Structures are given as structure tokens and as C-alpha cells.
Amino acid sequence: MKQEDTSRQPLPSLKGGEGGGSLKQRTAQGLIWGGFSNIMMQLLQTLFGVWLLNILTPDDYGKVAALVIFSNLASVLQESGFTAALANKREPTHEEYNAVFWFNVIVGLLLYVILFFAAPLIADFYHEPVLVPLGRLAFLGFVISSLGTAQRAYLFGHLKVKETGIMQMGSILISNIAAVCLAYAGMAYWGLAIQSLVYVACVTSFAWYFSPWRPTWPRSNSPSEGTSGCQSATIVPPTGGFIGALLPAWQMFGFSSKLLVNSLAFQFNNNAFGVLLNRFFPGGYIAGIYDNARKWDDRAIATINGMIQGVAQPVLRESARDAAGCGITSAFRKMLRFTCFVSFPCLFGLALVAEDFIVLLAGEKWHESALLLSLLCIYGAFTPIVTLYSNLVISRGRSTINMVIGLVNCGLVWGGIIALHALGYELRAMVIYYVALNIAWLLVWQACARRLISLSWWHALKDVFPFLLFAAGVMTAAWWLTSSMPLSWFRMILRILLAVALYVGSLWLARAQILMESIDYIFKRKK
């Protein structure tokens, strides 16, 4: 690509062009491909994850979990919300992508230097000297990731769900093969750190392969070039050279900065246990037990979240702008029903078989993770719904709302866990508090949706509650029918078959519209 010819031209948009087909068709294609790729990814993760659990120990996982928050926070700072900011633009230009690319590279390098010298302080905080070299290795991941942020933003904004799925599946396969080989070689937690690096390197390489956009050496912009999209341009003085070329990124920062703060709050929230458990219980064993439970819960969530995350924001954005469409409220409710239809049975089902799954596949040494997994899956069933609400808020250009909600939630999570530990409560009580708080927090998101798109509490309840009742009732019945059986492969398989049959059968008898539409779509695709 020659910058002289294309830098001021908008890149292909979602309408017509690359995506092809109507918004409805592209939404269905995105959900189907997102579902397929995420299911395949989670199957790969499960296969290799179980393999690694049988080789490694809770202490190995605990040591790596202590560093995750630092890598994640640095990655968020490096990305700075620009992926969503670019996706929220009507027609992002080459210069805007280019500015984001170079911004990410610069920030990624600076953050690695900072964390490289901060590694001894991190090790002192956890009382684990080995975290100094381990951290300096693991932190290389977000430097590598910075080279592919703009390319991933292009794939996301153009609904390239198929390419994204191939990228993620290939990266997972390669990195897990490397991890297993390193684990057998006796590298323990070092193998886990290298696995993360291999994964990031593969994702970055695939993103470059699938995205047609390429960076160019930055040159200055004139102040008249402004921005398009969710907000008006910021007036800035003319600046020459490399700094001037970064102005498009600065002009987007008013929107993306709020997403940045929200993402930081999410990472603090998501990694609260990883930090505090390693601090409260040195050695990594307790943190490793929790990390194993959280890992399987996250993988189950990611299967559904990936289906929603890949299409929600672009589709909601287009629905709001498409006067001929059915409107954003109708589109949101349709996606909400589909999310509940899939999320509740999947996560409640994992809670049902958690003990059999953990002990039979990973061994008795991980038995303590089973109950924690069952508890986390209860909240996990609601997480894709929260993701959908969050994408709605972003699609409406209201990133401040995301920021405030994230900060308050983060404060309550950390404050509650620290207070419970000070009062002498054990890990189980902390997890129950975390689950209850985050389920209740869904009410806050609904209150925001009511203001943004006039989604009433009654309509939201009608979309969510039936699937919640069906799934909870089915899992309770499956548990009761098999509760007298000993832990075994037969019991796990029987519970799965019972749960699937009862859930699909009960929805069929109730003539649930979303089930009928899904069946019709699958069979039409086969014809």
C-alpha cells in the first residue's frame, strides 16, 4: 500500500463491500462462525489444559498467576481502547490505523522497560525471588502484541469472524503443543510463561497475514483532517514529523481513554484473586487451586462471549444507523435472548459436572478446585449478558458509563475480598461474595440500557428469566436423578445427556422461538 495514494481515503466499511450481504445475514454468519471457532478453541484448550494439569502442580500455576495482572494491565495500557474506538468509526482511514499502530509500539516498549526494572519489587511483594527472571520473560508478550493491535482492530471492525477464528485456533494449537513439550522437558512454570509468548507471537503473525492493512512510516497531519465517527474532532495545533502523525490517535483518545480506564478496572477485578491470594497465602498453592477453577470457567465463558463479542458492537452500531432496520432495541433483545439461550445451560451444565470433570480428567490433586468451579459457573452464566450490555453502551458512544461502572465494581470486589480475609474467612466465602456481587451488578447494566435504548425492565426480564428458569430447573433435576451415583465417567456422561435432553425437550414443548429459529437456520444451511 502506498501512503501517497491511500492515506486520506477511508478503508472499506461494513456496508456492502467486504462483508457482503445484509446486516442480518452478516450477524447470523458472525454468530455461527464465532460459535464454531470458539467451540473448537475451547476443545483444544480443554485437551491440552487437561494434559498440562496432569504434568504440572498448583504451585506452578500459582507462580504464573501472580504475574498475569501485570502483563494484562500493561497490554490494556498499550492498546488503550483504540480497537473499540476504530470499530466505532464509520470509515476509519489509513492515517488513523497508522497512528494507532505506532502509538502501540511506542507504549509497548516503554511499558516493558518500566516492568523490567520493576520486577524485583514485584518479587518482593509476593516474597517469590523467582518472579524476577520469570516476569522479565513473561512481560515480553505485550511488546510482541503491540505489533498487531491495528491489524486485529481491522479484522474486528470489518466482522472478519472467520479469519479471527482461524487466527485464534491456530495460535492455541501451536502454543499448547509448545507448552506440553516444555512441561515434559521439566521446565514447569517456565513452560507456561513461554506458552503465552508463543501464543501472542502466533496471533500477531496471523493478524498480519489476514489483514490487508499495512503500516507506513508516519508523516505529519494537518490540523484540518479531523476525525469521523462517534464524536467530533478535537482541535489541535499543527505538529510536524513523527509526533504529528500520532494526532489521529490523540483525537480518538477522548473516547478510547474511558474504555482504557474501564479495561483497567476489569483487569483489576478479574485478577483480584490472583494478586491477593498470592499475597495472603505465599507459595502459590491456594492461588493455583483457584486459578485452575477460574481457568475452566473462563474458557466456558469465552465460548459464548466470543460469539457475542465478535459481532455485537459492529452490529449494534449499524442497527442504530440503519433507518430501514428494525432498530437497535429489537436487535439488542434478539441478541440477548440468544445469549441467554446458550449461556445458562452451558455454564450451569459445567457447574453440574464440575467434580467429575476436574477429578477424572486432572487428578485428585485438583479436587479442591471442583467446588470453586461450580460456584464460579453460576456467575459465569451471566457474564456473556454483561458483555452484551457493555457492547451496547460502547456502540452508543457512552464510554464514560462503562468507565464508572467498571471502577465502582472493581472497588467493591477488592474491598470485599480484603475485608473477608481480615475477618478470617476462607477462600470459599470470598468466591461466594464475588459471585453474588457480580450477578447483582447486572441490574446496574440494565438500568443503563433502559436509559440508552428504552429497554424496559419487563422486556429484559421476559428475555432473560425464562431461559434462567429452564436451565436451573433442568440442572437441578439432572443432579437429583444422579446424586446417589458414585463419582465416575458414567455419572458425568449421564448428567450431560440428561441435561441436554431435558433442556432441549422442555424448550421444544414450550415452543421457544429462539430454539425454532436456530433449528431452522441450521437445517437451511445444510440444504
Whole-prediction pTM value? 0.69
pLDDT band at 322 (very low <50, low <70, confident <90, very high): low
Angle between helices 312-321 and 383-395 (to 10 degrees): 40
Give me the half-sphere count of Cα atoms (radius 13 Å) on the Cβ side of residue 414: 17
Q: Worst-scoring range by mean pLDDT, 1-10, 359-368, 379-388, 477-486?
A: 1-10
Number of Cβ atoms within 10 Å of the Cβ of 220: 14
- What single-letter amino acid sits at 458? W
Cβ neighbourhood burial of 263 (10 Å; 0-12, 13-18, 19+) = buried
- Cα 345 from Cα 351, distance rounded (Å): 10
Quote the percentage of the chain above a pLDDT of 70: 75
Nearest CA to 440 out of 375, 386, 372 is that of: 386
10 backbone dihedrals φ, ψ, rounded to 5°: -65, 145
Q: What is the DSSP string of 4-19?
A: HHHTTSBPP-TTTTTT
pLDDT band at 99 (very low <50, low <70, confident <90, very high): confident
pLDDT at 145: 85
**3-class SS at 290?**
helix
- 199: Cβ contacts below 8 Å, ≥ 6 apart: 171, 172, 174, 175
Q: Classify residue 475: in a domain, yes or no.
A: no
pLDDT band at 7 (very low <50, low <70, confident <90, very high): very low
What cell does 511 get? 415452543
What cell does 381 get? 452464566
pLDDT at 523: 60
- Cα 378 from Cα 371, distance rounded (Å): 11
Nearest CA to 227 out of 320, 92, 381 is that of: 92
Residue 221: pLDDT over 60: no
Q: What is the mean pLDDT of residues 81-91?
A: 68
Reported as a single tens digit per residue, the pLDDT across 457-471 is: 999 999 899 999 999
- Mean of all residue pLDDT scores within the chain: 78
**3-class SS at 93?**
strand
Q: Worst-scoring range by mean pLDDT, 213-227, 266-280, 390-404?
A: 213-227
pLDDT at 401: 80
Higher pLDDT, residue 68 or 174: 174
Q: Classify residue 234: in a domain, yes or no.
A: yes
pLDDT at 243: 66
Q: Classify residue 216: in a domain, yes or no.
A: yes
Nearest CA to 482 out of 473, 491, 474 is that of: 491
Number of Cβ atoms within 10 Å of the Cβ of 412: 17
Q: Classify residue 222: in a domain, yes or no.
A: yes
pLDDT at 157: 73
Q: Worst-scoring range by mean pLDDT, 223-237, 266-280, 357-371?
A: 223-237
What cell does 446 get? 440494565
Is 377 within 8 Å of 350 (Cβ atoms)?
A: yes
Cβ neighbourhood burial of 247 (10 Å; 0-12, 13-18, 19+) = buried
225-241 core/surface letters (b: 16 or more CB in 10 A; e: else): eebebbbebeeeeebee
Q: What is the mean pLDDT of residues 500-517?
A: 83
Reported as a single tens digit per residue, the pLDDT across 178-203 is: 989 988 888 888 988 898 889 989 98
- Cα 153 from Cα 150, distance rounded (Å): 5
Q: What is the DSSP string of 164-199?
A: HHHHHHHHHHHHHHHHHHHHHTT-THHHHHHHHHHH
Q: Classify residue 87: in a domain, yes or no.
A: yes
Euclidean distance between the first and final Cα of the chain, in Å? Answer: 41
- Cα 345 from Cα 31, distance rounded (Å): 18
Number of structural domains found in the chain:
1
Nearest CA to 284 out of 372, 188, 356 is that of: 188
What cell does 86 get? 476504530
The DSSP output letter for 21 is S
Reported as a single tens digit per residue, the pLDDT across 409-429 is: 889 999 999 999 999 998 999
Residue 487: pLDDT over 60: yes
Reported as a single tens digit per residue, the pLDDT across 69-78 is: 777 776 666 5
Say how far residue 302 (Cα) sits from the centre of its chain: 6
Using only C-alpha atoms, the chain has a radius of gyration, in whole angstroms, of 23
pLDDT at 245: 65
Number of Cβ atoms within 10 Å of the Cβ of 38: 24
Q: What angle do CA 347, 404, 464 make, to 5 degrees?
A: 30
Cβ neighbourhood burial of 398 (10 Å; 0-12, 13-18, 19+) = middle
**3-class SS at 348?**
helix
Q: Classify residue 149: in a domain, yes or no.
A: yes
Reported as a single tens digit per residue, the pLDDT across 227-271 is: 443 343 343 444 455 566 666 766 666 666 666 676 777 778 778
Reported as a single tens digit per residue, the pLDDT across 142-188 is: 788 888 888 888 887 777 777 888 888 888 899 889 989 988 888 88
Residue 28: pLDDT over 60: no
Beta bridge partners of 10: 93
Reported as a single tens digit per residue, the pLDDT across 32-44 is: 655 666 677 778 8
pLDDT at 2: 39
Higher pLDDT, residue 316 or 472: 472
- What single-letter amino acid sits at 212? P
pLDDT at 345: 93
Q: Classify residue 462: in a domain, yes or no.
A: no
Q: Classify residue 437: in a domain, yes or no.
A: no
Instruction: Give residue 130's domain range.
Output: 57-155+211-260
